[in-house]
Amino acid sequence: MKHTYHAHGMTCNGCRSHVEDASKATVNLEKAELTIIKI
């Protein structure tokens, strides 16, 4: 299952690393999108 969310206010790689380290997630800073994949 895949979920994509708009990540308003997430603008740097520091923010990205906190999310991606916590779960199976990717952050696209240019599109301001967060994608979480549940297995």
Alpha helices by DSSP H, the chain: 13-22
Q: C-alpha angle 22/6/24, rounded to 5°?
A: 25
pLDDT on residue 21: 54
The whole-number pLDDT of residue 12 equals: 86
User: What pLDDT is stored for residue 9 in this prediction?
Assistant: 83
pLDDT, residue 22, reads 54
- State the DSSP code for 1: -
Domain that residue 11 falls in = 2-37
- Burial of residue 34 (CB within 10 Å: 0-12, 13-18, 19+) is buried
What global pTM score does this model have? Answer: 0.43
Quick one: 35 exposed, middle or buried, by C-beta within 10 A (0-12, 13-18, 19+)? middle
Into how many domains does the chain fold? 1
Q: Digits of tens for pLDDT over the chain (39 positions)? A: 677 778 788 788 887 777 665 567 888 899 988 887 765
